Amino acid sequence: MTKKILVIATVLLVHTAAHAQQSATIPDGANPAPEAFPPAYAPPPGYKPVQAAPAAPASPQPYYGPGPTYGPPPAYSPPPAYGPPPVHYPPPNYYYRYPPPPRQVTDRPFTLGGGIGFGGLSFKDSLGNVTTDNGMAYTLRFGFGLHPGLLLLGDMEGALVSRNASTISQTAYLAALQIFATQRLFLKAGFGFAEVVNNNNDTGYGTAPKWGGAAMVGLGYELIQGWNWSFDIEATVTGARYEYRTGNENWTNWSLVNFAINFF
């Protein structure tokens, strides 16, 4: 009895192992081909092998025609020509002071000058008699500039002559304007007062000075012009009128050529 039970258990174990191997190699729901079964076993009844579906024909690829053709690359113009690089100047020096422009020689804020030369003195009395003597002329001036080429002067013009045993002089004190017509040529004119003095050389006595109104005109030319000085020649005529109880007398002194030096 015991041997029969062992034989039956052995057959069941073998059958169970074969069935498990078949289940592991064949997926669920598939009908394997007959050759897939072990040769010891026959396919179950009603088994039909699954036929593989025929492959679908490949669809044709669309044709897009030949690819586009590209011409040669565009021609590029040469790069623009640039000028020289900008000049970089040094920063300004605020401590530098430019020199002032050169001063005009006729721009004279202040002037002082004087000179001597050749001249004379003429006397005309109340009866119309005229006496003329040659002698020495002198001039002295100081003043300041109103504008380049225009000077306001305190001017002194005089002449000294000898007549017989007497020395006669006339000196005029004038307010005058001096105008430069050119860089060197100038004109001047003024008015003021004059005095005439007559000294007797033998006795040492003279007449009291007489005063009268006076006027002057003149012209000159600067031969040399320096930075702050000049040398000129000039000629002037100064007339004065004196009143007496017996009549009026006119005295005129002139400078034919005066050599003068001026500082300004």
Q: Give me the tens of pLDDT residue by residue for the chain, a chain 264 residues long.
A: 666 666 666 666 665 655 555 554 445 444 545 444 455 556 666 666 666 666 666 666 776 777 777 777 777 777 777 777 777 766 666 555 666 666 788 999 999 999 999 999 998 887 888 999 999 999 999 999 999 999 999 999 999 999 888 899 999 999 999 999 999 999 999 999 999 998 876 665 557 778 999 999 999 999 999 989 999 999 999 999 998 776 788 999 999 999 999 999
How confident is the model at residue 48, as a pLDDT? 66
Reading the block at residue 235, the tokens are 């000629």
AA identity, residue 4: K
Beta strands per DSSP E along 30-74? none
Task: Find the angle CA(120)-CA(124)-CA(129) to the nearest 5 degrees.
Answer: 120
Please say whether the beta carbons of 189 and 216 come within 8 A.
Answer: yes
Residue the block writes with tokens 């036929």: 51
What does DSSP say about strands 185-200 and 210-225: parallel, antiparallel, or unpaired? antiparallel
Architecture (CATH level 2) of domain 110-263: Beta Barrel (2.40)
Please say whether the beta carbons of 214 and 174 come within 8 A.
Answer: yes
